[in-house]
Amino acid sequence: MTAAEIKEAVLEILSDIAPDEDLSNLKEDVSFREQLEMDSMDFLDIVMELRKRYRIQIPEEEYPALASMKSTVEYLEPRMTEVAKKQ
Amino acid sequence: MNDTLRESYDVVVIGAGLAGMTAANTIARAGHSVLLVEQHYKLGGLATWFHRKGGHIFDISLHGFPVGMIKSCRRYWTAEIADSIVQLKHIRFDNPMFSLETTFTREDFSKLLFERFRIPAENVTGFFDAARAMSHLDDQAYTTRRLFEKFFPGRQDVVRLLMEPITYANGSTLEDPALTYGIVFSNFMSKGVYTFQGGSDRLIRLMRDDMRKNGVDIRFACEVQKVHVERRKVAGVTLDGRRIGCRAVVSNANLLGTIFQLVGEEQFDKDFLEEARAVRLNNSSTQVYMALKPGETLDENVCGDLLFSSTAPEFRTDMLLSRAITSRTYSFYYPRTRPGHDRCYAVASTNANYADWADLPPDEYEAGKRNLIETTLEGISKYVPDFREKLAYSEAATPKTFERYTKHWGGASFGTKFEGLAVSRSLPERIAGLYHAGSVGIIMSGWLGAMNYGVIVANDVDAFLMKI
């Protein structure tokens, strides 16, 4: 997947997790926590969804990589090069 | 019934309390085969209810959902469950220090503390923010007592207002780590308190239906005697004498029962066993269930939904456990909680020491139960003078009752103290595939804590199964 496709995939997961949040103005380099009402369970849900949808394993000590959209895409890109875009 | 059991599953979940059911459902949704077994004849653990002759239905612990239950139920269960969670509007306190009503929101508590208790606004804000910022990584030596001393020095009355509901919810005391208080307080006393429309039976039925839909194989009235470990890996369980293979076990049984009974100490090293033995169980409870005659009602403006009532001149956690009861939390249930059911009923809860009840001779035990009912009826008559005339049926539960139905060691009704969390979390490091999800560490207790802990552990199990 390309960086743009990964971003799209993360946005899709976010919209499932936080259906009431407006994601259209999400700033890429500002943390999710500052922009959305997210707690630790929400981040766990992102981890679970990435594993379920794309078979990506993220160990607990690497959860901080999911802080913002920018850091998430940077973290996932090398790990998802072989992953096909979900139809 | 056991004829349709498979020879093996990816995961066996032992115990159908809220953490066990949520773990089972989440693991099944991730695509694994799951067997959920419960020793009791119904699902739910302490999320339960019972029927008595005359059409009475009692809920054990329904009043008191934190707001986070709405989100967790929507995500890990169904929209129908989440949409049935409704706010309790009238939460009351009555004790020799103060008598007041609150909506249980940060705004309302702030207003009360500022206007009525005359606490400077910056202390109120500072307290709420400090509680909100706490995490499980904070210093354990910093106690709840010190947190209160920092923001409300010398204010026993404020401590009582802010602590009594938490003690009711999870049995914690002023000597427990402040972080446990901060986390639970921020979830429980910030955006109102809720209940489930339709009763515990409807909640558990909806959960059962969702688990079945997701393919969880559910068995009740059957017991796991042993978790089998081979070469430091989970290999299977013995269920009513029959061996069933599995790659992982999630135990929703009591933490100590899991280690010392289900797995057995021969499977662990000395240091871990020492750590496990040092885990303190939380206290137990008593409850008195009181059903009104058909057609009899209670005045909601007097009783409210939850009433934290005490005759003790001051707030002391040791007094809360005494058999000489001075503090009771009343949950009042009106017909609207169970649409279609016409009864009002009340449940009075206290914290209690297991040891005070465990070794009584049968006649003293029965007398103790009668006394519990009598003193509760006396207590409630302060609010409803003709309560005895309205009463159709009453019954008491003691720490022994909790022990009998849950098989929890010491009849523990709130799991373990804080140190139990680290022991629970480290089980898979000792034995591959062995997990525990249940009330531990105070923060993983109660409706929301147990449900979310089930999800946290399910995530670990899913990651583990993908690796092997």
Q: Which residues pair with B309 in a beta bridge?
A: B94, B328
Is pLDDT of B116 > 60? yes
CA B273 to CA B262: how far, in whole Å? 14
Q: Please give, rounded to a whole number of angstroms, the shortest distance from the CA of B197 to a CA of chain A.
A: 23
Facing A48 at nearest CB: one of B71, B462, B467: B462
Mean pLDDT score, B363-380: 97
Mean pLDDT score, A63-85: 91
Report percent pLDDT > 70 for chain B: 99
Mean pLDDT score, B359-379: 96
B286: which 2 tokens?
């008593």
Q: Please give, rounded to a whole number of angstroms, the shortest distance from the CA of B84 to a CA of chain A.
A: 18
Q: In chain B, which residues have their Cβ closer than 8 Å to the Cβ of A17?
A: 75
Q: Where are the domains of chain B?
A: 2-39+222-279+414-467, 49-77+283-406, 105-189
pLDDT score, position B5 = 94
Chain A: residue nearest B464 by CA? A57
Q: Please give, rounded to a whole number of angstroms, the shortest distance from the CA of A77 to a CA of chain B.
A: 20
The pLDDT tens digits for B31-70 are: 999 999 999 999 999 999 999 999 999 999 999 999 999 9
pLDDT score, position A60 = 87
Determine, for residues B455 and A41 on separate chains, whether the beta-carbon distance falls below 8 Å. yes
Check if A86 contacts B (Cβ < 8 Å): no
Name the DSSP letter for residue B190: S
For an interface test with A, which of B67, B69, B74, B75 has the most A Cβ atoms less than 10 Å from its Cβ? B75
pLDDT score, position A87 = 57
Between A82 and B297, the higher pLDDT residue: B297
pLDDT score, position B292 = 97
For an interface test with B, which of A41, A51, A63 has the most B Cβ atoms less than 10 Å from its Cβ? A41
Mean pLDDT score, B234-240: 97
Kindly indicate the confidence band of residue B168, based on its pLDDT and cuts at 50, 70 and 90: confident
Name the DSSP letter for residue B280: P
Mean pLDDT score, B25-30: 97
Residue A34 lies in a domain: yes
Provide the residue range defining the domain that includes A53: 3-79
Is pLDDT of B171 > 90? no
Residue A24 lies in a domain: yes
Chain A: residue nearest B26 by CA? A48
Q: Please give, rounded to a whole number of angstroms, the shortest distance from the CA of B424 to a CA of chain A.
A: 16
What are the start-end ranges of the H helices in B40-177? Answer: 68-76, 79-83, 106-111, 121-132, 144-151, 156-170
The pLDDT tens digits for B180-213 are: 999 999 999 999 999 999 999 999 999 999 999 9
Residue B53 is which amino acid?
A: K
Facing B30 at nearest CB: one of A41, A45, A52: A52
Determine, for residues B452 and A52 on separate chains, whether the beta-carbon distance falls below 8 Å. no
Is residue B317 within 8 Å of B173, Cβ to Cβ? Answer: yes
With helix as H, strand as E and coil as C, how does A39-73 read? CHHHHHHHHHHHHHHHCCCCCHHHHHHHCEHHHHH
The pLDDT tens digits for B409-457 are: 899 999 999 999 999 999 999 999 999 999 999 999 999 999 999 999 9
CATH of the domain at A34: 1.10.1200.10
Q: In chain A, which residues have their Cβ closer than 8 Å to the Cβ of B452?
A: 41
Strands (E), B211-302: 217-220, 224-230, 233-239, 242-251, 284-292
Determine, for residues A41 and B452 on separate chains, whether the beta-carbon distance falls below 8 Å. yes
pLDDT score, position B2 = 53
Is residue B124 within 8 Å of B108, Cβ to Cβ? Answer: no
pTM, entire model: 0.94
For an interface test with B, which of A47, A48, A49, A55 has the most B Cβ atoms less than 10 Å from its Cβ? A48
Determine, for residues B72 and A17 on separate chains, whether the beta-carbon distance falls below 8 Å. no
pLDDT score, position A43 = 93
B2-39+222-279+414-467: CATH topology: FAD/NAD(P)-binding domain (3.50.50)
Is residue B104 within 8 Å of B162, Cβ to Cβ? Answer: no
The pLDDT tens digits for B266-285 are: 999 999 999 999 999 999 99
Is pLDDT of B362 > 90? yes
Determine, for residues A57 and B467 on separate chains, whether the beta-carbon distance falls below 8 Å. yes
Is residue B92 within 8 Å of B304, Cβ to Cβ? Answer: yes
Q: In chain A, which residues have their Cβ closer than 8 Å to the Cβ of B466?
A: 51, 55, 57
Between B421 and A84, the higher pLDDT residue: B421
The pLDDT tens digits for B123-160 are: 999 999 999 999 888 999 999 999 999 999 999 999 99
pLDDT score, position B342 = 86
pLDDT score, position A10 = 96
Between B1 and B124, the higher pLDDT residue: B124
User: Residue for token digits 């001393």?
Assistant: B149
Half-sphere exposure of A73 (CA within 13 A, CB side): 17
Determine, for residues A51 and B467 on separate chains, whether the beta-carbon distance falls below 8 Å. no
Count how many pairs of residues, chain A against chain B, have C-beta atoms within 8 Å: 25
The pLDDT tens digits for B253-263 are: 999 999 999 99
Mean pLDDT score, B341-359: 94
Mean pLDDT score, B353-380: 96
Determine, for residues A57 and B463 on separate chains, whether the beta-carbon distance falls below 8 Å. yes
**Long-range contacts, B338-341 (Cβ 8 Å, 24+):** B338/B57, B338/B197, B338/B198, B338/B199, B339/B197, B339/B198, B341/B57, B341/B199
For an interface test with A, which of B77, B462, B464, B465 has the most A Cβ atoms less than 10 Å from its Cβ? B462
Spatial CB neighbours of B142, under 8 Å, sequence gap ≥ 6 = B177, B178, B179
Facing B459 at nearest CB: one of A17, A44, A55: A44
* Number of domains chain A contains: 1
Mean pLDDT score, A67-77: 96
Is pLDDT of B357 > 90? yes
**Average pLDDT across chain B, whole number:** 95
Facing A45 at nearest CB: one of B30, B75, B463: B75
The pLDDT tens digits for B372-412 are: 999 999 999 999 999 999 999 999 999 999 999 988 889 99
Is pLDDT of B325 > 90? no
Determine, for residues A45 and B456 on separate chains, whether the beta-carbon distance falls below 8 Å. no
CA A42 to CA A16: how far, in whole Å? 11
Instruction: Kindly report the length of chain B.
Output: 468
Q: In chain A, which residues have their Cβ closer than 8 Å to the Cβ of B30?
A: 48, 51-52
Residue A87 lies in a domain: no
Kindly indicate the confidence band of residue A15, based on its pLDDT and cuts at 50, 70 and 90: very high
Is residue B442 within 8 Å of B466, Cβ to Cβ? Answer: no
Q: In chain B, which residues have their Cβ closer than 8 Å to the Cβ of A21?
A: none
Check if A30 contacts B (Cβ < 8 Å): no
Determine, for residues A47 and B459 on separate chains, whether the beta-carbon distance falls below 8 Å. yes
